[in-house]
Chain A
Amino acid sequence: MAETADQRLKRLRSQFSQQELAPDQQTLELEPLNEEDSALKSGRFSRRSFLSGLGATGLLAGAAPLAAAAPAIAPETDETADTAGTATVTLRINGKDYTLRGLDTRATLLDTLRERLHLTGTKKGCDHGQCGACTVHVNGRRVNSCLSFAVMHEGDEITTIEGLGQPDNLHPMQAAFVEHDGYQCGYCTSGQIMSAAALLKEPIGPTDEDIKGAMAGNICRCGAYTNIVAAVRQARA
């Protein structure tokens, strides 16, 4: 006999609640983020906390068992040995040390920044080193954070867009991007700016062609290239 809609819903829900989440879906394992916690408590909502809240509400409405089970999945914070496939690593990011326990060795630097540390200024585009949206600085040099495992970066000095400048104290490259409107949707922008900021210290030639070549690892699907080149040119002057 055919499954009724109600039976099907129950079956899917029970499957979903038992399903083990892939590392990049384990949002319940997030490190606590003080700023957003306090924002929530004080009733101030960022776009991110608002959207996250919507997601959680959706889960609560659709799959109560998952939400109830959440505390049990949360990471242990005591001194337990790492199990196979996990590691404890201390990452130095934007001048601050973060000790991550039980970090899945498969977690890329990109996913660790975004999902564990909530440093979501670094974006995931292609996840294969082809688009440049995930560009960060490691020891002052630009790299694709999607093609590097986080466990490999103990002792490295990592800089993300959050550490490059602040709203009231922009890095000259950030200011130049604002001035020249070097974006449209903005998704590639943090990668573009991290790439361009690193370029300032590289031995590349003086022309616009040199800028284009040096920015070849960052794709902008809105096509803001002309303004990006103008911004980089100004910041190099």
Chain B
Amino acid sequence: MQTFSYVKAASVDKALAGAGTGKFIAGGTTLVDLMKLGVEQPPTLVDINLLPLDKIEKLPDGGLRIGALVRNSDLAWNADVKERYAVLSEALLSGASPQLRNMATTGGNLLQRTRCAYFREPSAGTPGGYGCNKRTPGSGCTALDGFHRTHAILGTSEHCIATHPSDMCVAMAALEAVIHVEGPKGKRTIPFEEFHKLPGDTPNIENALEPGELVTRVDLPKPIEGTRSVYLKLRDRASYEFALASAAVVAKVEGGHIRYVRVAMGGVGTKPWRSHEAELALTGKPVEAATFRRAAEAALASAKPRTDNAFKVELAKRCLIRTLKLATA
């Protein structure tokens, strides 16, 4: 591991001032792992664990404010989250292990890096090593014709097919969360859907954060009266595994018809995958198997499977259909 200097920031201002070319560290569950692999080599680490960003607060408009340092387990077990944003609690509890959930933070999970084996391979992007455009732009993508059973089928490009691994983000996409950031140029908010970037020809750029910007909190809007929300995750084993396909659905049914619905999918996209196509196919339609099937077809219509991950197309459809059934039952 590269040597780094370590700074503990006592305030957001001090953290921003100390950022420089370094990285912020909170839970460390992704960053320390990747530093050991040589994927991340920050010259400076700014420890932000002392910042007052560890609260979950109700907003006057009925929404919920989640500090960037709120740990995954605290968020999952929060009474408000369990009752009013069940999809988020379920998504968090389906991710990682209890130990990791005690460490991992809300802000950090937004920035979770892909589990693509080529990205994580220490030699990736170096001469003689595996190509990885995320690690070293222009070095190629070994996963395209390599091991890619777990890779993305939606939002891919010829430069990168790495899956976004977060469960929390899929739920937040369906809940239409708003991300608050603070940086050298001041404060701003980013709608969830605009936060993560498609790989395109710059897979090294994963999100909308500017250099030196810090995620300070995530706001959830007030839940729509009468909605029900569900997260379903399908994977190779029942616990402590990344999704092969997952779905987050927030839905409201009136008179046997779907009046409101938000759909997001995980394990299949290069970013947390909000499906407006599925929502369009569902809104105003009767709650029945044919409606769900049409929505699933619409959600996966633009899928670009490769040799070993083609099974994900049907798996993701069935995952979404099952989740829709549960959310509208």
Interface residues of A (CB under 8 A from B): 84-85, 87, 104-106, 108, 127-129, 132, 135, 141-144, 146-149, 151-152, 154, 195, 198-199, 202-203, 212-214, 216-218
Contact = CB atoms under 8 A, between A and B. Distances in A.
Size bracket, chain B contacts:
20 to 34
B33 A142 contact: no
Considering residues A85, A128, A144, A151, which has the most beta carbons from chain B within 10 angstroms of its beta carbon? A144
Given A108-B32, A127-B36, A203-B77, A144 B99 contact: yes
A205 to B, nearest CB: 11
A212 B100 contact: no
Nearest to B76: A203
A216 B5 CA distance: 34
Contacts of A149: 6, 25, 28, 32, 45
Given A108-B32, A128-B36, A148-B28, A217 B99 contact: yes
B5 A213 contact: no
Nearest to A213: B239
A147 B32 contact: yes
A85 B99 contact: no
Contacts, number: 84
Interface in B1-47: 1, 3-6, 8, 25, 28-29, 32-33, 36, 45, 47
Given A152-B47, A203-B77, A216-B240, A105 B99 contact: no
B49 interface: yes
Contacts of B200: none
Contact of B98 (A85, A87, A214): A214
Contacts of B32: 108, 146-149
B98 A152 contact: no
**Taking chain A's interface residues, is the majority helix, strand, or loop, or is none over half, making it mixed?**
mixed
B97 interface: yes
Nearest to A155: B50
Contact of A195 (B45, B77, B99, B103): B99
A87 B33 contact: no
Given A106-B3, A143-B103, A217 B29 contact: no
A124 B4 CA distance: 23
Interface string B89-116: 0000000111110110000000000000
Nearest to B77: A203
A129 to B, nearest CB: 6
Nearest to B5: A84
Given A105-B5, A144-B100, 20 more contacts: A85-B5, A105-B4, A105-B45, A106-B3, A127-B36, A129-B29, A129-B97, A143-B99, A143-B103, A144-B103, A147-B28, A147-B100, A147-B103, A151-B6, A199-B98, A203-B77, A212-B239, A214-B98, A217-B97, A218-B97
B6 A202 contact: no
B35 to A, nearest CB: 8
Contact of B100 (A152, A203, A214, A217): A217
Nearest to B49: A152
A129 B99 contact: yes
Given A84-B3, A85-B3, A85-B5, A152 B25 contact: yes
A128 B33 contact: yes
Contacts of B238: 213
A101 to B, nearest CB: 15
A40 B28 CA distance: 39
18 contacts: A84-B3, A84-B5, A85-B5, A105-B3, A106-B4, A127-B36, A128-B33, A132-B97, A143-B103, A144-B99, A147-B32, A147-B100, A147-B103, A148-B32, A149-B25, A152-B47, A214-B98, A217-B240
